[in-house]
Structures are given as structure tokens and as C-alpha cells.
Amino acid sequence: MYFVANWKMYGNLSSLNTLNKVIKFSKSKAINKGRLIYCPPNTLISPLSKKFSNCQIAIGAQNCHENESYGPFTGFVNCKMLKNIGAQFVIVGHSENRKKGENDKLINLKIKSALKAKLKVIFCIGETLVEKRKKKTKSILSNQIKIGLKKVKNKSKIFIAYEPVWAIGTGIIPSSNDLIKTVQFIKSKFKKKFPKILYGGSVNPKNIKNLKEIDNIDGFLIGGASQNANKFIDIVKKTYS
């Protein structure tokens, strides 16, 4: 199972001291076969990479510019630069960025750029509450996958993170039956080997007992709860208890 900590726009250098517990935990048997991935703000990727150098915790970025090479793009960072400072993964297509104007065609360019830089991609997809109520979940997800992964050949480096927009930060999660069916639908979009499927959206220590019963998912993309070391460790422990 994969446990991806998306810190969003939180954290500073002093926050790194809170991760000593996580580092110790990552070396224990309690983690079972879980794989931990931290995606902090870009300002913390390099120091976090150094802090995790003696353990198996991987580092990811939260977004990237679509341009493969350097250029006049003030305030942006491309995948080559992220790779250079220690990132191994990058989150692409998060709903918070889609709300800011990222569309599927732009996300497609970012995915291609990330793969070219030899980064693994956590590709976020998900429907809004309005789309869900109109029963458009399948068509929305299908379109996001079709355009987002257009002409992407190396899908073995892609993780699909299903994050229903209506679940992010609300404390509400899909029913087990709905989640099983949705993940199965996502997998049906891939003719050959399935990509790893993660679930994200209000994952916390209280609901992980229900979420872990969904046997067709490969892990979780965790937002707010991942900013607290104890809660993050608790999520991992309860997944295997």
C-alpha cells in the first residue's frame, strides 16, 4: 500500500523536526509493506530529501510547469528542476489546481514532461458534487483519463488518484459500494496492466478502517491528516491492523 502525504501550502524548516517520529516508524515492522511518500511545498523538497536520506521514504512535488526545458516562466518550476533537488514523484491534476484553471490538455503536457524527467506521476481525477448528482461521474472520469493520458506510452510510472472533489476537506467519503464500483470503472479504462489506484479525499484515522476494506485500491492520498505525524502514522497502522 502507498501512503502519499500531500502537505499542500503548509510547513517550514522547523516542521521537518516533527517527522522524526515518521522516520523512526518507517524503519519499524509496524509499517508492514507500506510505502510512504511525502509531497511538501517546493521550498522543503531539498531539505526533506536530505532528512530522508537514511530511510525508505520517497519525496514528491505537488505540481509542475509543463515546459520540459528552462525558460521565461517567472514563479514556476519544471520537472527537470524538481528531479534535481530530490523529487521522485509529482502530483498532477489536483482539483485545487483544476479550479485555478488547469484543464485536461495542460495536465496531459505536464504528465509527459514529468515522465520525460523520469518522475513518477500521481495523476488526480475526480468529479464535483454537481456532476455526481447529475450522474456524470463516469463520463467525467473517462474524459479526464482519456485526455490526460493521451499519447502517454509509459503508463507503468502513473498512479491514478481518485479524489472526488466533493470529499476533499469535507469529512465525507464515498460509500464502500460506490468506491468499489468507481475504482473498477477506472481500471476498465486500461486494456493492459492497471496503474496503481489511490483514493484521496478526507482520509483520516477515523475512516481508514472503512477505506482499508476496499480491496481494489492500492493506497491513499492524504491531505490535512498527513500534516500531523501522529495522525499519519495512525492511518498506516490502522490500515494493517
For residue 92, report the phi and psi dihedrals to the nearest 5 degrees: -130, 135
How confident is the prediction for the chain on average, in pLDDT?
A: 95
Surface-to-core class of residue 35, CB atoms within 10 Å of its CB (0-12 exposed, 13-18 middle, 19+ buried): middle
**Is the pLDDT confidence value at 194 over 80?**
yes
Output the CA–CA distances (angstroms, integers) from residue 94 to 6, 123, 160, in the order listed.
10, 8, 11
pLDDT of res. 170: 87
How many other CB atoms are found less than 10 A from the CB of residue 43? 11
Domains of the chain, start order: 2-240 (3.20.20.70)
CA dihedral 177, 179, 180, 181 (to 10 degrees): 90
pLDDT of res. 90: 98
State the catalytic residue, choosing from 96, 102, 127, 163. Answer: 163
| pTM higher than the cut 0.75 | yes
- Per residue in 148-163, pLDDT (tens digit) is 999 998 899 999 999 9
- Per residue in 14-60, pLDDT (tens digit) is 999 999 999 999 999 889 889 999 999 999 999 999 999 999 999 99
Tell me how far apart the alpha carbons of residues 11 and 41 are, in angstroms, rounded to a whole number: 7
pLDDT of res. 208: 96
State the catalytic residue, choosing from 66, 94, 102, 127. Answer: 94
Helix (H, G, I), strand (E, B) or coil at 221: strand
Tell me how far apart the alpha carbons of residues 77 and 64 are, in angstroms, rounded to a whole number: 6
- Which pLDDT band, with edges at 50, 70 and 90, does 193 fall under? confident
pLDDT of res. 224: 94
Concerning whether 65 is annotated as a catalytic residue, the answer is no
- Give the mean pLDDT of 95-103: 94
